[in-house]
Amino acid sequence: MPRSKRRSRMLGSGPRPKVMPDITPIVNVALVLLIVFMVIMPMVREGITVETPRADNSEQLAENAEQLVVLSIKEDGSLYVNLNLMERHQLKQGLALAYRGQEGSPIIIKGAKNLPYSQILELMEVCQSVGAPSVDLMAKKNR
């Protein structure tokens, strides 16, 4: 027998085993990301924490309420459009930017329960000036 055939038998001329990549680290990273998003998403949906007044006849927000513009005002007077802190002098521009593309839908005002009525009226006027047809006031439902 020639030497080359003998060598090929010794080097393993039979079927080679397929090398499979180890996917365990990829699966671990995917599961960690899934858990992180499951923990973070309820906090993002909640938005800015404001102690809103209670009402007997409040309605549940619609399913598409996550796309609506929420104007929040805390007891200290700090203003938020969705989750972005706004100064009073830039409120109209920031609100108009957030409201772009949602013409016809209401703006939700989430105001602290101890705010003077005049501050809520000022916010309603700003909402009207950016073109909102109506304003919804957020409240917690009495039990």
| Digit-coded pLDDT (tens) for 30-53 | 999 999 988 877 665 556 666 666
Strands (E), the chain: 54-55, 70-73, 79-81, 84-86, 107-111, 135-137, 140-141
pTM (2 decimals)? 0.59
Q: Which two tokens stand for residue 103?
A: 């013409």
Angle at the Cα of 117 from the Cα atoms of 115 and 120, rounded to 5 degrees: 80
Exposure pattern of 34-46 as b/e (b: 16+ CB <10 Å)?
Answer: eeeeeeeeeeeee
Run of H or E residues at 103: none
Q: What residue ranges define each of the domains in the chain, with the CATH number in brackets?
A: 48-141 (3.30.420.270)
What value does the mean pLDDT take over residues 43-65? 61
